[in-house]
Structure 1
Amino acid sequence: MKWHHDADPAELTRLAPGALPAAAPGLTSLTPLGEILAAVHLGTLDVPNVAVSSALRRLLAALFIRISGLQIADPDAWDDRWDELLSRGRLDPADVSAYTTEWAFRFNLDDPERPFLQDPRLAKECGDAAAPGKLVMTRASGNNQPWLDRTPQDAPVTPHEAFWWVLVWRQYGPCGLGANRSHNGIKHKSMAAAPLRSVISWHPETGNEFTNLLLSAPHPADIPVTGPDLPEWEQAALPDPLRPELPTGPVSRLVNRAVHSTLTRSDAATGQITAVWTAWRTPVPTAVKEAGAKKALEAASEAVTAAGDPFLINRTKGGPVRAHHARALARDFDSLIHIRRPGDTTKAATIPPAWIRLLDTLPVEALDQIGPVRARALACHQDKQEKEELWFEQVTPVPVANYTSGRHPEKAALVASTRKAAEDTAKALAAALRSAWNEMSPDPRSECSWTRDTIAAYWDRADSRLWQAINDGTDPQLQALAVTLYDDAVRADASTPAGLIPIARARATLTHPKTRRSAKTT
């Protein structure tokens, strides 16, 4: 946690006694889970890795819902409790202590019977353990870029890092081969991709982690509570690999949808993690031979996937919006703010995260008390297999509530038109580059070497212009930017005999774009 500069030092010492270094105003401390929740109103989460931050925010949201009493099926009762919590501005330390004390025996990575969010059966059901570095996705392995972390695979992992990466494997684990697990007659190595693999996760950012978590609790009218909705550590038995649990509310969606199982082994003398097993949690359907069991597993897996995650932008077709490091954040802001309210018959291509829909319905008094709410994007440009290309994190420079289509349809329309203009300009720039290249190239099938880097530079430089235009309602001057980047890309060839005419001709499509003539009236 990063503690607020104006936090009361005495209160920090009392609520976060286990923080290292000691909790103090303005400092960042490594803080136990229970102490984070007790002092959550005094700081903000500060985690060095994007995937860890994303997974930890979901875990804290689930704990917050359980401890705060927001796991309520009745919408009116939920509203009353939410308003009460907002007014109080903090969790009751006694409630936090009671909960963490009750379940303390389940919050231990080394517990022999129920290690926290791990499966002790792997020690018997799998072969030899892997090196501890297998747990840490940023260490060099497989197709990972080696400069992410040069730590050798066999170097031990500290307990707090192991806790982080156990969470990450559940949310971001790759598909591919893991330990050869044998369970109830099914034996194989294949693992499916985890639910957050290669997608963008969106979280509220208010500058106060208590209000972040309060906004993160989905409204029951949006994500209903249809059953006990218990997190794994509160359940009496380990999950059944052959019968995936169907989500019954926000808590099970946040923490129970893992497709990977992990088990860590530590050195008794140092406490460091020295070995790890990573294997499937639910078998891939092709590994199940019996037709009825295979069909049941497929149906259950599809239902778990369809339940969705409350922090993603989900598309009506194609699943959640995927992460791409070269994609400007402002492009996805359009999807984030467009909300379909009850009675709206328009067909929406995307569904924003649950907290955005909650934010859009809050009374003005609540918004004033919370203050500006921005959106934090957490993502990794990666593929489904074990390849991590680039972790990235951004926070929108404008408050989300000022642009949601339910509250400010005119501003939402401005965002949509600005985003479309940017994408149209990018298409025109790419088309101009390809046109010049094709005229110059003796092989019409050759790939334009200018396009990739130029379009990446366009979106990199357009992002700040788009936010400025969205904030001020001004012209982002994208056509001028496109012409400048076009000239930079073709400069070496523009004065050559082969390139002079094709490059000038293609440039004219940017400086003097054709407009569609209006239909003639008769």
Structure 2
Amino acid sequence: MIHRPSFDLTTEPWLPVIRRGSLDEVGLRELFRAAHDIEDLAIPVPPAASGIWRILYAITARITGLDDTDLDFRTWSRRRNDLITSPHGFDQRAVEEYFDRWAARFDLFHPERPWLQDPRLATQCEKDAGVNKLVFSRSSGNNHVWFDHHHDQHLAPLPAKEAAWHLVAQLYYGAAGRCSTRRVGTTSQANTQAGPLRGTLSFHPVGEDLFQSLLAGLVHPRTSRSDGQSPPDLAPWETDELPDPLGIPPRPGGLVSALTNRARHALLLTPTPDGGQVSGARLTWAFRHPAGEFEDPYLIHQVATSGAVYARTADGHRALWRDLDALVNEENEADPRKASRPRVLREALNLPLQMLEVIRVRAFGFDQDRQSKDNTWFTAITPPILKWAKERDPDMAYGIARARVAAEEAQRRLAEALRKAWRDYSRRDPKGPNPWIPAADSRYWPRAERVFWQVIDQRAFDQVDQAFTRLALEVYEEVTDMTCRQPRGARAVYRHRPGLFSPTRKPAAPIATRGAA
């Protein structure tokens, strides 16, 4: 008998979770059977976690029937609220029926339909890019080795469970540009589009247990359609046939397809004979035609001056609290960034009131450019903030926005004052390197976060301008202290010190009036 490699994601323990305060690993069946007994996911790779949460939301919608696009929003919300207050978690029969139906499609190494992969790449893509290409943090090709000893002359196999994480991460956050050559008919191309979440910052509600988190993370399925048409709402593992790579990419027909079927990359893993590890991977383009527009419900969206809508990008140097106002306020014309909160948080306000007091929000960010440069990934979590939404506490929502603007305006004045003082002191090109500004930023922003939360805790919104100005002054004096010991340096520093108190332009207010909150 010939044994083929197999890794069943429904039963193999590949998902790290926190259960009863300890780290555990479960498969998909156990995760949904025991969701009410699991505190949280613990996937250590943020871009993989972001994608896996979306996949779990899609399965949650299927198991609960909350994928029904015929339900109006009020009926849908009432049904979700009835489910989320249940102490027994998901219906066990529904869980088993779903995974029994699609069990073969969740095999990571199935010969005909490997999970989230394209088996046609075995013949259409001759070159195996190597397992290092699959992992964002590993060096491949001619790139330098930075964080570990993996390189193209050291292709250490990857455990199958970790390969599944990185498979998901590539499908959602993969790079644009050069890839392995794929030949389909007479078409032979070696470039691809960027993944649908590349470079973005993704927000997800976190309840008291995984069961609550999965239900709180759903959005109404009808609002997930990309246009007025209604194509089938299917996940990749639910389709009868593989998509045509030369055809039009699938359009979301509802919540499930919107969350799982927007990948721009095609992959095929190469397993070891026992199926316990992955020794290589083919990574190439999935479609030649561009994808349709879709506003992901877990992203903050902004409006450019041209009117174009785009997702807020992740910035590894920007702390999460600076995005907090965009999570509790709806789009506001007076905000220069014109940010609108993620739809999932807007719809979460219809959850039971007792849940709004405890739900936190987790952010997954991957700082990348739109092509192929990856900088850093990160994750962060807020305290319970839905209780501060403008619909429930407009004064707090207004205050959060005001505090964020005050912090950024004080930093702008600080940088401008340091720029002018350095120019006068060094007598160099004002556009040249200025060592004071990065030194000031490294001091200012960590302390600004403490000031921000103090203001929020005390609701001292009428004092935010003074609080951040005092902080800017403190940092200004620290950075320039040594220079002030010289007469010329002291003159330059004290000449521009008043700029910390007198902004050269009127600060932008995120909300025109308190009543507008």
Shorter-chain TM-score tier: 0.7 to 0.9
Q: 1:180 offset after TM fit, Å?
A: 0.6
Change (3 A) 1:156 1:36: same
Deviations along 1:258-307, one digit per CA (max 9) or x if unpaired, are 11111001111463211110001112xxxxxxxxxxxxx34xx2x2xx21
Amino acid at match of 2:250: E
Q: 1:514 offset after TM fit, Å?
A: 7.8
Change (3 A) 1:468 1:347: closer
Contact 1:145 1:388 (C-alpha < 8 Å) held by counterparts: no
Aligned to 1:501: 491
> Partners in 1 of 2:475 and 2:201 — Cα distance?
28
Change (3 A) 1:244 1:221: closer
SS of the equivalent of 1:229 reads coil
Change (3 A) 1:412 1:383: same
Change (3 A) 1:151 1:347: closer
Contact 1:16 1:39 (C-alpha < 8 Å) held by counterparts: no
Contact 1:378 1:392 (C-alpha < 8 Å) held by counterparts: yes
Aligned to 1:325: 316
Q: 1:77 offset after TM fit, Å?
A: 3.6
Q: Could you state the TM-score of these two structures normalised by the residue count of structure 1? A: 0.85
Change (3 A) 1:143 1:444: farther
More displaced 10-residue stretch of structure 1: 232-241 or 347-356:
347-356
Change (3 A) 1:350 1:221: farther
2:63 to 56, 61, 67: 67
> Partners in 1 of 2:377 and 2:263 — Cα distance?
21
Q: Does 1:267 align with 2:267?
A: no
Aligned to 1:451: 437
Q: 1:113 offset after TM fit, Å?
A: 0.8
> Partners in 1 of 2:367 and 2:386 — Cα distance?
28
- Aligned pairs for 1:44-59 (under 5 A) are 44-59=40-55
> Partners in 2 of 1:83 and 1:311 — Cα distance?
20
Contact 1:129 1:277 (C-alpha < 8 Å) held by counterparts: yes
Q: 1:508 offset after TM fit, Å?
A: 2.6
> Partners in 2 of 1:446 and 1:17 — Cα distance?
56
Amino acid at match of 2:193: A
Q: Could you state the TM-score of these two structures normalised by the residue count of structure 2? A: 0.86
Amino acid at match of 1:308: E
Change (3 A) 1:16 1:227: same
- Aligned pairs for 1:456-467 (under 5 A) are 456-467=442-453
Contact 1:59 1:254 (C-alpha < 8 Å) held by counterparts: yes
- Which consecutive residues of structure 2, in runs of 5 or more, have no partner in the other structure? 1-9, 507-517
Aligned to 2:122: 123
Q: 1:492 offset after TM fit, Å?
A: 2.7
- Which consecutive residues of structure 1, in runs of 5 or more, have no partner in the other structure? 1-14, 284-296, 517-522
Q: 1:125 offset after TM fit, Å?
A: 0.9
- Aligned pairs for 1:252-291 (under 5 A) are 252-269=257-274, 271-283=276-288
Change (3 A) 1:310 1:130: same
Q: 1:56 offset after TM fit, Å?
A: 1.1
Q: 1:227 offset after TM fit, Å?
A: 4.2
SS of the equivalent of 2:189 reads strand
> Partners in 1 of 2:15 and 2:358 — Cα distance?
30
1:407 to 388, 392, 398: 392
- Aligned pairs for 1:51-450 (under 5 A) are 51-73=47-69, 74-75=71-72, 76-89=74-87, 90-141=89-140, 146-153=145-152, 154-220=155-221, 222-223=223-224, 226-241=230-245, 242-269=247-274, 271-283=276-288, 297-298=289-290, 301=291, 303=292, 306-317=293-304, 319-339=310-330, 349-362=338-351, 366-369=352-355, 371-397=357-383, 399-440=384-425, 441-450=427-436
More displaced 10-residue stretch of structure 1: 157-166 or 308-317:
308-317
1:27 to 7, 16, 22: 22
Contact 2:356 2:386 (C-alpha < 8 Å) held by counterparts: no
Deviations along 1:30-58, one digit per CA (max 9) or x if unpaired, are 21112111111111111111112111111
Deviations along 1:55-81, one digit per CA (max 9) or x if unpaired, are 111111111111111012222442342
Q: 1:421 offset after TM fit, Å?
A: 0.7
